[in-house]
Amino acid sequence: MNLLLSETDELLSSMESEPAIAIHEVRKRTKYLRALLALSPEYPNELKTSLKAISRLLAPYRDAQVNLDTYQAIVSVNNSDRDTVFEDFLRQNQFLKQGFPEKSDLDKIQTYIEDCRSLLNSTPSKLAPDQILMSIETSYQLGNQALKRAQGDPSSELVHAWRKKTKRLWYQLRWMFGDDLDNPNHPVLQSNVLGKSLGEIHDLDVLRILLDIDHPLQLRIQKLRQVLLTRAFKMGFELYIYQRTNFHHSLNQLY
């Protein structure tokens, strides 16, 4: 975990030169760390609080960039759908124009990182294998439950909740198995692809809120969302239901 914090430090130093990349990567590492904290109840809640605070400070900058990127991806298919007024509205977002946080907020982030490092170093880091397996099994069950709730009501809130549970599972499995895997049906790869697909749906849902309810792009977004949602449910059933035996077999191979 200290390695992830060190990587976060390095990314902060590149904030001015590559703000969009640095912000995205820092947020990914805070989510990774929060997923690992869920592996043991011994970690103090202050750790999670500090990591969420870092992510929250960077969220407006990331959201502004993603909104513009999502819009451009949609209209690139058919340039006649381009709305210059709406595009200008997205480009004039204060966080997009600013690019990265002010020094005062960067100093806060640095303080949060130091707090996290201090808390980690004062907390026993030895995780028992049975505790790890039980925690990952809990994440798997939570993902399964979130899938079923989203299936019954594929609202933006429930799909986003499913996404967060799947991302947490992916981070934990990634920590266990690494990234160098050849089997496309391995739970690490399945959860990663599913999480990305659910992320695309979330990006559409956020952009849709910014558009007028009768905007021509609303229909395009709704159709694209349905395609992505159908694909996500197929992958979700594969990971959480059909491959349940494979999931537990993969875990048991480690211990």
pLDDT in the model for residue 72 = 95
Average pLDDT of span 235-244: 92
Lowest mean pLDDT among 79-88, 123-132, 226-235: 123-132
Cβ-contact 75, 40 below 8 angstroms: no
Instruction: Give the model's pLDDT for residue 77.
Output: 86
pLDDT at residue number 9: 86
Give the pLDDT mean for 227-247. Answer: 93
CA–CA distances in Å: residue 74 to residues 69, 86, 147: 9, 13, 26
Q: Are 255 and 133 in contact (CB under 8 A)?
A: yes
- Across the chain, the runs of DSSP E, i.e. the strands, are none
Chain centroid, CA 96 distance in Å: 20
Nearest to 198 by CA among 159, 146, 147: 159
- Mean pLDDT across the chain, nearest whole number? 92
Listed range (30-39, 124-133, 155-164, 185-194) with the worst mean pLDDT: 124-133
Query: How far, in Å, CA of 8 to CA of 166, rounded?
Result: 23
- CA 85 to CA 155: how far, in whole Å? 28
The reported pLDDT for the residue numbered 16 is 84
Instruction: Dihedral sign for Cα 177, 183, 187, 193, please.
Output: positive
CA dist., res. 93 & res. 64, Å (int): 7
Number of neighbouring beta carbons within 10 Å of residue 173: 25
Sign of the alpha-carbon torsion through 84, 85, 90, 92: positive
Lowest mean pLDDT among 46-55, 77-86, 111-120: 77-86
Whether residue 42 is predicted with pLDDT greater than 90 in this model: the reply is no
CA 37 and chain centroid, separation: 16
Lowest model confidence (mean pLDDT) among 87-91, 176-180, 190-194, 235-239:
176-180
Count the Cβ atoms, other than its own, within 10 Å of residue 6: 13
Return the minimum-mean-pLDDT range out of 77-81, 130-134, 186-190, 204-208: 77-81
- What pLDDT, on the 0 to 100 scale, is given for residue 26? 94
Angstrom distance (rounded) from CA 226 to CA 211? 18
Residue 122 scores a pLDDT above 80: yes
Secondary-structure percent of the chain, ordered helix, strand, coil, rounded to 5: 80, 0, 20
Inform me whether the pLDDT recorded for 125 exceeds 70.
no
Could you tell me the pLDDT band of residue 41, with boundaries at 50, 70 and 90?
Answer: confident
- Structure confidence at residue 91 as a pLDDT band (50, 70, 90): very high
pLDDT score at 28:
95
- C-alpha span between 62 and 98 (Å, rounded): 12
Q: What is the pTM of this model?
A: 0.91
Residue 255 is predicted with a pLDDT of 63
Asked if residue 58 has pLDDT above 90, the reply is yes
Residue 242 to residues 63, 193, 248, Cα–Cα distance (Å): 34, 16, 12
40, 127 contact by CB (below 8 A):
yes
Q: Is the Cβ–Cβ distance between 131 and 38 less than 8 Å?
A: no
The yes-or-no verdict on residue 220 having pLDDT over 90 is: yes
Using the predicted structure, report yes or no on whether residue 109 has a pLDDT greater than 90: yes
Supply 131's token pair.
């505790």
